[in-house]
Amino acid sequence: MAMNRPCAWLVAYDIRDARRLARLHRFLRREATPIQYSVFMLRASPTGAGNLAKAIEGKIDRGQDDVRIYRIPEPAQVFIRGRSMLPDGVDLLGPGASLLHGA
pLDDT at position 44, please? 94
pLDDT at position 92, please? 52
**Tens digits of residue pLDDT in 14-48:** 999 999 999 999 999 999 999 888 999 999 999 99
Kindly write down the DSSP assignment for every residue of 17-54, as one continuous string.
SHHHHHHHHHHHHHHSEEEETTEEEEEE-HHHHHHHHH
Confidence label for 60 from pLDDT (cuts 50, 70 and 90): very high
pLDDT at position 102, please? 41
Angle 46-57/18-31 helices, nearest 10 degrees?
160
Sign of CA dihedral 78, 72, 32, 5: negative
Predicted confidence (pLDDT) at residue 94 exceeds the cutoff of 60 = no
Predicted confidence (pLDDT) at residue 57 exceeds the cutoff of 80 = yes
CA distance 80 to 89: 13
> Which domains can be identified in the chain, with CATH numbers?
7-76 (3.30.70.240)
